[in-house]
Structure 1
C-alpha cells in the first residue's frame, strides 16, 4: 500500500508549481488518499541533480522549461530509471508534443487544467501509475529472490555425493539429475525415462514406488537393487512441485 508518493516536479514557473501543489494537496485531503510530497526543480540541471541525490516515486514535468524542454530531462532520466512514472504537463494540447513525449518514454500526458476535474485526474494518474510501478517492482523482487533460491538449491544439490534426480510423476521422465547421479548410472539422464536411465528397462519397473508417495509431507524410505550396477541403493522419495509446476518426485 502506497501511503506517500515522493514526486520530483520540474516546473520553471514558481506560481504554477505552488498552485499545483496546493490543488493536489486538497485532493489528497478531500479523498483521504496517499499523500503527495513534492520536491520542486526550476531547471533541467537542478532536476538532474535532485534525481541523482534523492529517490523519487514519480516525476511531474512541464514541457517547456526555460530554453529547454522536458524531453531533454526525460531522455536523461530514462537512461537511469527505465520504468519510474514520468508524467508530462503542457500549457496547451499538442498532438506532436504528446507523441514526442510518449515516444521518449513518458508514462502519461496532461494539458494544464486548474479547473474542477484537472487536478483530480492528475492526482489519480500519479497514484495509479505509482501503485502499478510499485507492484511491478515487488513482483520482480519476489521473482529475483525465487530465482536466487533456486540457483542456490541447485548448487547445493550439485555438491552432494549422493545421487539426486527429479522425476515427472506422469511421464517418468527425468527433469533434473545432479552430477553424482549421472556418474553413478553412467548414462543420459535429462529427458530420458527413469527406468531407462537407471535400470535399462523399456517399461516402468514393476516394483516402482513413486506413485505411492501421495502426500507432500511424507518421505518414502526403501532399499532397491539395481541390475545395471549390481548393487543395492538406499532410496528416499518425496513428492514435490518442480520449478516449472510439474508434479514430480524428488529421489
Structure 2
C-alpha cells in the first residue's frame, strides 16, 4: 500500500457511519497509509458533539445516509459547535445534490467511498491536509496575539509600514500618545504625514533610503514628528525591515527624545 508523508503529531479523527464493518475497514486501511491518523468510531451521529469534547477530535469523517441523521444534518450541528473544525463527507451518495448541500453547510471536503485503496489514500491525504491547515491557522493566530501583546507592552511608539507604499499598517498605544492621535487616524496615513509638512519630501527620501536596511536611522539633522496639537517632537528612529510572505514591511521604533540628553 502506498505510504504518505506523516503528519506532525497524532491526528484524532472521529469516523461516523452506521456500517460497523466499514468503520473497521477504514480504520485498518487508513492507519497503514498514515499512522498519524488515529480513528475513533461511532455508529450514532447524535453522540458526535459529546465525543468532540471528550476525545480531542481534530476532524470528523462522516457518511451521508444514516438512520438518525444525514451527514449534512450532522455537519450543520457540528458547525454550530465549531465553525471551522475539519469535516469530510465520506460517502457513496455521490449526487450533485448531496455535494451542493454539503458545500452550502460548510463541508471541508467530499470524498467518494468508491475506488478501493486509492479512495482510502485520498481520504487520508484530505484529512491530514485539512488538519494541518487548521493547525497552521491556529498557530498564526497565537503568534499574532503574542506579537500584539508585545507591541502594546512596548514603552516606545512602534509603527509598521508597507515598505513599497509607505502606508502605515499598524501602530501601538505608545504611538497614539506620541502623536496625540488615535490609531484609527494614524493607520492608513502615508509615513511622511507623521512629520512637519514643510519637511515631508525630505522624510520621504530618508524612508526610501533606509527601507532596505535595519538599525538606528542616523541623519545629518535631528529627526522629529508632528504632534496633533502642532508642535514638533524630537525622536530617534530605529527601523527594521521584515519579509512577511510576499510583502516587505518596515517596523519603526520611535523614541521620544524630549528630556533626554
TM range (shorter): 0.5 to 0.7
Kept in 2: contact 1:223–1:234 (CA 8 A): no
Q: Deviations over 1:68-105 (max 9, x none)?
A: 21222111111222222211122332111111111111
The aligned residue for residue 254 of structure 2 is 250
Structure number, greater radius of gyration: 1
1:97-176 maps to which residues of 2 (within 5 A)?
A: 97-113=98-114, 115-153=116-154, 156-157=155-156
Deviation digits for residues 209-247 of structure 1, max 9, x if unmatched? Answer: xx79x97444769996x9xxxxxx875443345998247
CA contact (8 A) 2:87 2:108 kept: yes
Q: Matches of 1:97 and 1:234 in 2, distance apart? A: 65
Q: Which residues in structure 2 correspond to 1:210-249 (within 5 Å)?
A: 216-218=214-216, 236-241=236-241, 245-246=249-250, 248=252
For residue 23 of structure 2, the aligned residue among 17, 32, 39 is 17
Partner of 1:61: 62
Question: Which consecutive unaligned segments of at least 5 residues does structure 2 have?
Answer: 1-6, 225-232, 256-261
Alignment RMSD, CA only?
4.3
Q: Distance in 1 between matches of 2:99 and 2:87?
A: 13
TM-score by length of 1: 0.68
Q: Matched residue of 1:245: which SS?
A: strand
Change (3 A) 1:181 1:165: farther
Q: Aligned residue for 2:41?
A: 40
TM-score (norm 2): 0.65
Distance 2:165 2:33 in 1: 59
- Contact 1:10/1:60 (8 A) holds in 2: yes
The farther-off stretch of 56-65 and 173-182 is 173-182
1:6 to 4, 9, 12: 12
Q: Which moved more, 1:77-86 or 1:236-245?
A: 236-245
Does the C-alpha gap of structure 1 residues 182 and 170 become closer, same or farther in structure 2, counting only changes over 3 Å? farther
Give unmatched runs, 5+ long, in structure 1. 29-33, 159-163, 227-232
Cα separation, partners in 2 of 1:54 and 1:234, compared to 1, 3 Å: same
Equivalent residue of 1:64, what SS? coil
What secondary structure sits across from 1:93 in the alignment? Answer: coil
TM-superposed deviation, 1:157: 4.0
d(CA) in 1 for partners of 2:164 and 2:126?
A: 48
Match of 1:138, SS state, is: helix
SS in 1 for 2:117: coil
Question: Counterparts of 1:125 and 1:37 in 2: how far apart (Å)?
Answer: 14
